[in-house]
């Protein structure tokens, strides 16, 4: 991938609406703007976005798919008894789902992880979801219910199905807990409720949200390392703000949520919305900073759709079916980063892939 000019990861800042205007694009490491749309009068990014600026506007644009059916997931019988196996099974990762339950089940079936009845059928396989289960798509609660059920079935079969904390889990938790309570956004008054609605919050999800869903989301880890892969949701170095070990980061995130302070939770959400730290010049160094601190040889993330990482963005006015084409994960930052968000919300692809990737 060609490296673009940038200022390095040290100028990382919080994503805002202006970052995600299509096709003009300003990201954390420098501007990406089509030549015919450059504005010579625009102020530098650091002047337009003061330190601490908060994503109080809509995040990524939602390009309607128009082809999604809401598919209920009925409780399935317990998985078959596990067969003895030597060592751990293969490792799979799943990108952002955002409520697209039908697409998720199709992708899991294609990889042989569930059967036609939606049951776990992968034995000792290990499956990691990279976060963002809800918002934008039609059935976020159905996605969470499926992941929770598969977690039990996989464990019974000698494997596992686990999940990371995404920024949309923090957003939904905040909207449920704090609603319209004003928070210190760094850019005037903001609320979790307003941010949730602007970023694809679905009333049907909120209506169906139960205590066990909230407890499950609040206990999710933010960072994990498996087989030399450092798994995170967001392509940001903001994880370093929460500790110098994986255990410390996960403990600090959970403790912040336990304290139930609106401003603290908002700051946590704000940092998890940061993105594009691994793009362009200095991106590989940003990845190395995380790997050096938390271990691993490559980082795997979701959060930023691959079409945006490549600059191949669509438009909300695109004709149906003309969205970006994503065939698989995107490897970049000197081969150190693997992006897994195929852009299912913008007519892209919901990615489920085994690691290491096939070459």
71-80, 155-164, 320-329: range with lowest mean pLDDT? 71-80
* Residue 21, phi then psi, degrees to nearest 5: -70, 135
Sequence length of the chain is 359
Give residue 354's pLDDT band: very low, low, confident or very high (50, 70, 90): very high
Which of the listed ranges 47-61, 223-237, 319-333 does the model predict with the highest average pLDDT? 223-237
CATH number for 91-354: choose from 3.20.20.100, 3.60.21.10, 3.40.920.10, 2.60.120.330: 3.60.21.10
Chain mean position to CA 347 = 16
- Cα dihedral 235, 240, 243, 244 sign: positive
- The token pair at 72 is 């209920």
Task: Tell which residue, 20, 49, 25, 47, has the closest CA to residue 37.
Answer: 25
* pLDDT for the residue numbered 60: 64
- Cα dihedral 147, 148, 153, 156 sign: positive
* pLDDT for the residue numbered 76: 52
* pLDDT for the residue numbered 47: 36
* pLDDT for the residue numbered 220: 98
CB 217 within 8 Å of CB 210: no
Average pLDDT of 102-130? 97
2-6, 53-57, 117-121, 314-318: range with lowest mean pLDDT? 2-6
| DSSP secondary structure letter of residue 51 | T
* pLDDT for the residue numbered 268: 97
Choice between 348 and 5, residue whose per-residue pLDDT is larger: 348
* pLDDT for the residue numbered 70: 43
pTM above 0.85, yes or no: no
Residue 42 pLDDT > 60: no
Choice between 321 and 75, residue whose per-residue pLDDT is larger: 75
Angle 148-152-155 (CA atoms, 0-180°, nearest 5)? 135
Report the 3 state secondary structure along 99-162. Answer: CCHHHHHHHHHHCCCECCCCCECCCCCEEEECCCCCCCCCCHHHHHHHHHHHHHHHHHCCCEEE
Model confidence over 58-91: pLDDT tens digits? 666 555 554 444 444 455 555 554 554 568 899 9
For the chain, what are the domain ranges?
Answer: 91-354
- The token pair at 266 is 């908002």
Residue 217 pLDDT > 70: yes
* pLDDT for the residue numbered 148: 98
Residue 79: strand, helix, or coil: coil
Give residue 5's pLDDT band: very low, low, confident or very high (50, 70, 90): very low
Choice between 77 and 334, residue whose per-residue pLDDT is larger: 334
Choice between 54 and 107, residue whose per-residue pLDDT is larger: 107
* Rounded distance between C-alpha atoms, residue 281 and residue 356, angstroms: 25
Residue 32 pLDDT > 80: no
DSSP result, 239-295: GGGG-SSHHHHHHHHHHHHHHT-HHHHHHHHHHHT---TTSSTTHHHHHHHHHHHH-
Average pLDDT of 279-307? 97
3-17, 268-282, 327-341: range with lowest mean pLDDT? 3-17
Q: Are strands 126-129 and 189-190 parallel, antiparallel or unpaired?
A: unpaired
Residue 2 pLDDT > 50: no
* pLDDT for the residue numbered 311: 83
- The token pair at 145 is 């219910």
* Rounded distance between C-alpha atoms, residue 267 and residue 186, angstroms: 10
| DSSP secondary structure letter of residue 78 | P
Average pLDDT of 216-222? 98
Choice between 41 and 343, residue whose per-residue pLDDT is larger: 343
Average pLDDT of 250-255? 98
Residue 8 pLDDT > 50: no
Average pLDDT across the chain, whole number: 82
* Rounded distance between C-alpha atoms, residue 169 and residue 217, angstroms: 6
Residue with tokens 């959970």: 254
């Amino acid at each position: 991938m060609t490296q673009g000019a940038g200022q390095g990861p040290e100028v990382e800042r919080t994503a805002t609406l202006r970052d995600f205007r299509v096709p003009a694009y300003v990201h954390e490491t420098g501007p990406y703007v089509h030549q015919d749309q450059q504005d010579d009068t625009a102020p530098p990014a650091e002047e337009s976005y003061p330190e601490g600026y908060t994503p109080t506007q809509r995040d990524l644009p939602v390009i309607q798919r128009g082809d999604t059916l809401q598919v209920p997931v009925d409780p399935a019988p317990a998985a078959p008894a596990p067969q003895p196996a030597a060592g751990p099974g293969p490792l799979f990762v799943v990108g952002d789902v955002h409520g697209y339950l039908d697409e998720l089940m199709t992708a899991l079936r294609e990889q042989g992880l569930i059967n036609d009845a939606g049951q776990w059928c992968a034995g000792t396989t290990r499956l990691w979801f990279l976060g963002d289960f809800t918002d934008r798509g039609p059935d976020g609660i159905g996605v969470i219910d499926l992941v929770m059920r598969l977690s039990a079935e996989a464990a019974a079969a000698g494997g596992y199905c686990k999940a990371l904390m995404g920024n949309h889990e923090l957003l939904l938790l905040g909207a449920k807990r704090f609603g319209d309570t004003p928070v210190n956004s760094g850019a005037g008054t903001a609320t979790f409720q307003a941010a949730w609605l602007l970023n694809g919050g679905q009333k049907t999800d909120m209506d169906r949200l139960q205590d066990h869903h909230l407890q499950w989301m609040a206990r999710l880890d933010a960072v994990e390392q498996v087989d030399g892969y450092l798994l995170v949701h967001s392509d940001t170095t903001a994880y370093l703000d929460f500790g110098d070990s994986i255990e410390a980061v996960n403990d600090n995130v959970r403790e912040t949520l336990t304290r139930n302070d609106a401003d603290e939770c908002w700051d946590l959400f704000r940092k998890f919305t940061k993105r594009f730290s691994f793009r362009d010049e200095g991106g590989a160094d940003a990845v190395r900073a995380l790997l050096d601190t938390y271990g691993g040889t490559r980082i795997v993330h979701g959060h930023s759709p691959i079409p945006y990482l490549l600059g191949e963005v669509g438009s909300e006015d695109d004709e149906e079916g003309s969205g970006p084409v994503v065939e698989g994960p995107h490897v970049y930052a000197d081969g150190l980063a693997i992006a897994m968000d195929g852009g299912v919300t913008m007519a892209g692809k919901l990615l489920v892939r085994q690691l290491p990737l096939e070459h």
